[in-house]
Amino acid sequence: MNQNHAGQGRFSGRTAIVTGASRGIGLAIAGQLVSEGARVCITARTAGPLEEAAAALPRDSVITVAGKADDPEHRREVFDSVAREFGGLDVLVNNAGINPASGSPAAPSAPDSAS
């Protein structure tokens, strides 16, 4: 990735939120946005992996807010943090996956043994 921290690039002066960004696609998206001049707020459920992810990005270009994407209080905290630290929001990347029905994939059920 070409790390452009001088504020040049197609996202220069822009601010982004990337959810589900402690690893994988979300972290790659955040890294690309930063390399193109953006400041980012990355979010994920747990603080430890999120802080590790932030360490891979330039310190002055990233903030973190840990919490669950389906929690209204967490979402409020994210937007409040972005407004306070960066002044506003230009790009939102919803990368977090949630399953509001069960919170996790359903376990397969055993077949009926009626004969």
| pLDDT tier, 103 (very low <50, low <70, confident <90, very high otherwise) | low
pLDDT of residue 6: 46
Burial class of residue 100 (count of CB atoms within 10 Å of its CB; 0-12, 13-18, 19+): exposed
| pLDDT tier, 4 (very low <50, low <70, confident <90, very high otherwise) | very low
Residue type at 8? Q
Contact between 45 and 67 under an 8 Å Cβ cutoff? The reply is: yes
Judged against a pLDDT cut of 90, whether residue 83 lies above it is answered with yes
